[in-house]
């Protein structure tokens, strides 16, 4: 029974059906447009369901702002404060009491809840709101909830709901025959399009659209932009161009809770608001007074590259689902207008949904949590999309290196400690390692700082941010310091910790991102071999060495977002095994010689090097092989005989495949260890390689039992009827014999190889070795076009024989005797 004090919204007419469905079944998929009221009215309506008993209802929201707003709205509808019947729980904030029966939690918090208590003790229902956003935590949390429901809690109610839900896939995943669908929104929204030209910056187009809307429409405006930088630039363009009664407020993730709450608060009486927001305002919040939405059609999505460990942000077109969500914000409290900054025809070309995070993110946390849950194969979980195999393998390899997983992907004792922190794997490993050295507290402070955007400011220098963080007195900073205290509460004396620089702490988390300056100011190379850059104006741009905590951009042009200075002596003290001194042989491209040196390095970073005498033996041969890999086999001095052998073998490989060797460039490079290295043990440079060694090496590729067969199937020469040997070419699709036509007189069968099974392509030439005919059928040529060739050649070469019947004439290499 819905409470009389609750408003009547489009979802109201479906609440009875929702209650009846959950009375009979334990799973429900709900699709309702923006403004239907599902976020607030569905949880409140479930309070009165008989199956609830005294169980708590968990409502998942994708963002902290949405969680706080949803809890506040429900509490106000009940006439209570947040923390009474309705409360919320998130990483740095908790408004829960003994009387709380609806808990609004962020998705990551729920994952930790169910991992720590798979039975979800005291919880009767879990509602996944805005599931269409497909965060990794939402996908994984739903999979865990379905698993727990099947094995441990058959009475647990699971509801998946969204305004723009991929209904078919979700219903199939949850085993439902159909979804409950609510039609309509609170108020109509008029769609308008305002196409921008190809060279118009999005900030200029948005500024123009906002000014036009302020002049022609009533009410406040919500403008969607891809990121913080664009929001700042639009705010700068609007400054001094809007009336005094218009408040321009930003809304994005880096803002404090107070600043975010101020952005969504209704405008004061007689004033209007222009809220410049990222996608954070797409779902689950209502900004009273907004009746105009202006959508840039752009969003910024993180893209993770498993091979580099770098997450970069890409600006991309929004999905149709996101565009619908944004437009729906205009009709929450009154009829509204949605202005889209693109051509109407482009809407159909938008992707249906935003790509799920599981396909493009760091999976180390997922891999760790799967191991804690006792699952090694993600296919055992009810995931809508399976994680990419390569990214999962990279994540597991990182966890093995950190000591969190064993070789069979089982959780180790260290892994259990790391998971308990609720931190990204690298940062959890950092806190553990620091605790062992008596520096747990500064490591915990740094870990919290790195996981909370904007905490301690936005300086690239993490030592500077830590100093700011220690002096901040805002609620968020105080909550963050309390969280750091909880992280290290079990470490005793190590919890207080001795002073450490951020760089020495970060070594435990990012040893592969130790970076050394190279070239100009601000240019660095990391231990993993990747380059990274800082603006030359940054203080850290002049540092000799850094540890990089965060960076973005393409691997070749990564931009450092946060880092700390480190010295070589600190690295030697904290991680002595990271620095290695080795004698190395390598190929020098400039001289094409093998060089040797004694190198002190950290991964790809060379700290010191000393030349050594030129090496010989296998080390030199291996270095030469590296040179061939870089330059290709064409740099090798193949003799004519070796080149012909390579072509013969390549022809037989193309004809028969294995066991004949592939002697193409790629084939030879792939087998340098077999045919090249063993024959170059005394060589120190490409110019010292003997052509004979290459011929012998190629011959070594032929299995012993096939060497005679090589001569039979691909002979080097054809013996003509005149007794002269002519080379056969094998550089094409078929073997070719070029020969003067007179040398084949008297031959009644076509020349062939391979025991007569493979005909040669004949390139017949004149006495002057100019081509006159190509044929695969010599008897047919004698009987056919020979007559025309003979007529033409007799006039040109009268001293040479041109018989009427060449098949019966004597072969010759000479001209006719004088007087004949």
* Length of the chain counted residue by residue: 820
Domains in the chain (CATH in brackets) are 12-181 (3.40.50.300), 189-358 (3.40.50.300), 423-578 (no CATH), 633-713 (no CATH), 717-808 (no CATH)
Q: Which two tokens stand for residue 609?
A: 């090097």
Q: How confident is the model at residue 239 (pLDDT cuts 50, 70, 90)?
A: very high
Please give the average per-residue pLDDT across 677-692, as a whole number.
Answer: 90
Per cent of the chain over pLDDT 70 is 97
Q: Which two tokens stand for residue 317?
A: 């077109």
Q: How confident is the model at residue 260 (pLDDT cuts 50, 70, 90)?
A: confident
pLDDT of 499 over the 70 cut? no
Please give the average per-residue pLDDT across 341-354, as a whole number.
Answer: 92
Least confident piece of the model among 62-66, 226-230, 816-820: 816-820
How do residues 54-102 score in pLDDT, each as one tens digit?
999 999 999 998 999 999 999 999 999 999 999 999 988 899 999 999 9
d(CA 118, CA 811) in angstroms, rounded, equals 93
pLDDT of 569 over the 90 cut? yes
Q: Which residues make Cβ contacts (< 8 Å) with residue 128, sequence separation at least 6? A: 60, 138, 141, 142, 158, 159, 160, 161
pLDDT of 757 over the 90 cut? no
Residue 738 in contact with residue 725, Cβ under 8 Å?
Answer: no
Angle at CA of residue 27, ends 21 and 31, nearest 5°: 75
Angle at CA of residue 108, ends 102 and 113, nearest 5°: 60
Please give the average per-residue pLDDT across 103-107, as a whole number.
Answer: 97
Q: Which two tokens stand for residue 307?
A: 């091979």
Strands 761-765 and 771-775: antiparallel
Please give the average per-residue pLDDT across 528-553, as a whole number.
Answer: 93
pLDDT of 474 over the 60 cut? yes
d(CA 712, CA 735) in angstroms, rounded, equals 13
What's the confidence (pLDDT) of residue 496? 59
The residue whose two tokens read 């609007």 is 238
Q: Which residue has the higher pLDDT, 3 or 770?
A: 770
pLDDT of 4 over the 60 cut? no
Q: Which two tokens stand for residue 116?
A: 């720590």
How do residues 434-453 score in pLDDT, each as one tens digit?
998 888 999 999 999 999 88
299 to each of 44, 302, 480, how far by Cα in Å? 33, 10, 29
Query: Residue 743's CB: how many other CB atoms inside 10 A?
Result: 19
Q: Which two tokens stand for residue 5?
A: 């004090």
pLDDT of 497 over the 50 cut? yes
Per cent of the chain over pLDDT 90 is 70
Q: How confident is the model at residue 245 (pLDDT cuts 50, 70, 90)?
A: very high
pLDDT of 715 over the 80 cut? yes
What's the confidence (pLDDT) of residue 805? 93
Q: Which residues make Cβ contacts (< 8 Å) with residue 470, sequence separation at least 6? A: 445
Residue 310 in contact with residue 552, Cβ under 8 Å?
Answer: yes
What's the confidence (pLDDT) of residue 391? 92
What's the confidence (pLDDT) of residue 583? 87
Residue 317 in contact with residue 351, Cβ under 8 Å?
Answer: yes
d(CA 366, CA 108) in angstroms, rounded, equals 11
How do residues 106-160 score in pLDDT, each as one tens digit?
999 999 999 999 999 999 999 999 898 899 999 999 999 999 999 999 999 999 9
Please give the average per-residue pLDDT across 626-632, as a whole number.
Answer: 93
Please give the average per-residue pLDDT across 577-583, as a whole number.
Answer: 90
Name the range with the highest mean pLDDT among 29-43, 232-246, 285-299, 578-592: 232-246
What's the confidence (pLDDT) of residue 179? 86
User: Model pTM?
Assistant: 0.77
What's the confidence (pLDDT) of residue 1? 42
What's the confidence (pLDDT) of residue 3? 52
How do residues 363-422 score in pLDDT, each as one tens digit?
999 999 999 999 999 999 999 999 999 999 999 999 999 999 999 999 999 999 999 998
Least confident piece of the model among 89-103, 605-619, 627-641: 605-619
pLDDT of 186 over the 80 cut? no
How do residues 668-682 score in pLDDT, each as one tens digit?
999 999 999 999 988
The alpha-helical segments, DSSP class H, found in 176-276 are 202-216, 228-238, 257-264
For 615-633, the three-class secondary structure string (H helix, E strand, C coil) is CCHHHHHHHHHHHHHHHCH
> Considering the chain, what is the average pLDDT of its residues?
91
């Amino acid at each position: 029974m819905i409470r009389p004090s609750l408003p009547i919204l489009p979802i109201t007419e479906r609440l009875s059906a929702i209650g009846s469905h959950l009375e009979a079944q334990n799973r429900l998929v709900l699709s309702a447009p923006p403004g239907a009221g599902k976020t607030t009215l569905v949880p409140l309506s479930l309070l009165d369901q008989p199956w609830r008993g005294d169980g708590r209802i968990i409502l998942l929201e994708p963002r902290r702002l949405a969680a706080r707003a949803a809890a506040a709205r429900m509490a106000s509808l009940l006439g209570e404060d947040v923390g009474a019947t309705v409360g919320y729980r998130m990483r740095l904030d908790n408004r829960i009491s003994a009387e709380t029966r609806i808990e609004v939690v962020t998705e990551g918090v729920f994952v930790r809840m169910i991992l720590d208590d798979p039975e979800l003790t005291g919880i009767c229902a879990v509602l996944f709101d805005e599931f269409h956003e497909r965060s990794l935590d939402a996908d994984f949390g739903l999979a865990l909830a379905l698993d727990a429901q099947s094995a441990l809690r058959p009475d647990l109610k699971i509801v998946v709901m969204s305004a723009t839900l991929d209904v078919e896939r979700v219903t199939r995943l949850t085993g439902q025959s159909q979804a409950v669908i609510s039609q309509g929104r609170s108020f109509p929204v008029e769609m308008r399009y305002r196409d921008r030209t190809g060279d118009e910056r999005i900030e200029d187009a948005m500024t123009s659209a906002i000014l036009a809307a302020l002049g022609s429409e009533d009410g406040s405006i919500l403008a969607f932009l891809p990121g913080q930088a664009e929001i700042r630039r639009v705010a700068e363009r609007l400054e001094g161009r809007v009336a005094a009664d218009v408040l321009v407020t930003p809304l994005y993730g880096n803002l404090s809770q107070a600043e975010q709450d101020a952005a969504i608060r209704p405008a004061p009486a007689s004033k209007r608001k222009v809220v410049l927001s990222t996608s954070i305002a797409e779902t689950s919040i209502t900004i009273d007074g907004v009746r105009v939405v202006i959508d840039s059609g752009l969003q910024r999505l993180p893209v993770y590259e498993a091979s580099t460990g770098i997450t970069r942000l890409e600006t991309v077109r929004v999905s149709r689902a996101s565009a619908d969500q944004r437009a729906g914000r205009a009709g929450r409290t009154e009829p509204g207008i949605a202005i889209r900054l693109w051509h109407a025809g482009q809407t159909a070309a938008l992707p249906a949904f935003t790509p799920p995070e599981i396909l493009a993110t760091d999976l180390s946390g997922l891999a760790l949590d799967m191991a804690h849950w006792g699952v090694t194969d993600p296919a055992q979980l009810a995931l809508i999309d399976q994680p990419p195999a390569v990214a999962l393998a990279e994540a597991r390899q990182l966890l093995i290196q950190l000591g969190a997983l064993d070789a069979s992907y089982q959780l180790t004792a260290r892994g259990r400690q790391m998971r308990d922190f609720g931190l990204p794997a690298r940062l959890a490993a950092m806190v553990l390692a620091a605790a062992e050295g008596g520096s747990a507290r500064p490591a915990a402070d740094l870990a919290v700082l790195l996981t909370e955007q904007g905490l301690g400011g936005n300086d690239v220098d993490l030592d500077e941010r830590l100093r700011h963080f220690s002096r901040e007195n805002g609620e968020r900073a105080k909550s963050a310091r309390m969280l750091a205290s909880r992280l290290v509460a079990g470490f005793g004396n190590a919890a207080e910790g001795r002073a450490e620089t951020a760089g020495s702490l970060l070594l435990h988390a990012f040893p592969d991102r130790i970076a050394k300056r190279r070239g100009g100011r601000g240019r660095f190379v990391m231990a993993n071999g990747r380059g990274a850059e800082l603006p030359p104006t940054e203080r850290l741009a002049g540092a000799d060495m850094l540890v990089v905590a965060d960076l973005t951009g393409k691997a070749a042009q990564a931009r450092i977002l946060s880092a700390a200075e480190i010295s070589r002596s600190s690295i030697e003290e904290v991680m002595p095994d990271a620095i290695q001194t080795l004698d190395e042989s390598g190929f020098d491209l400039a001289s094409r010689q093998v060089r040797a040196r004694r190198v002190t390095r950290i991964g790809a970073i060379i700290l010191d090097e000393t030349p050594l005498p030129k090496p010989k033996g296998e080390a030199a041969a291996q270095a030469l092989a590296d040179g061939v890999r870089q330059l290709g086999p064409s740099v090798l001095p193949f003799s004519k005989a070796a080149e012909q052998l390579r072509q013969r073998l390549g022809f037989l490989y193309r004809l028969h495949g294995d066991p004949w060797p592939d002697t193409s460039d790629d084939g030879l490079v792939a087998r340098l260890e077999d045919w090249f290295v063993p024959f170059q043990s005394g060589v120190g440079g490409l110019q010292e390689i003997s052509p004979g060694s290459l011929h012998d090496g190629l011959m070594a590729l032929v299995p012993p039992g096939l060497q005679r067969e090589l001569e039979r199937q691909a002979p080097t020469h054809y013996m003509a009827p005149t007794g002269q040997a002519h080379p056969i070419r094998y550089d094409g699709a078929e073997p070719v014999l070029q020969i003067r036509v007179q040398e084949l007189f008297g031959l009644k069968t076509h020349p062939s190889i391979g025991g007569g099974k493979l005909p040669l392509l004949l390139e017949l030439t004149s006495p002057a070795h100019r081509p006159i005919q190509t044929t695969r059928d010599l008897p047919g040529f004698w009987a056919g076009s020979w007559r025309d060739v003979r007529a033409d050649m007799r006039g040109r070469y009268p001293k040479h024989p041109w018989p009427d019947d060449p098949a019966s004439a004597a072969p010759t290499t000479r001209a006719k005797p004088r007087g004949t």
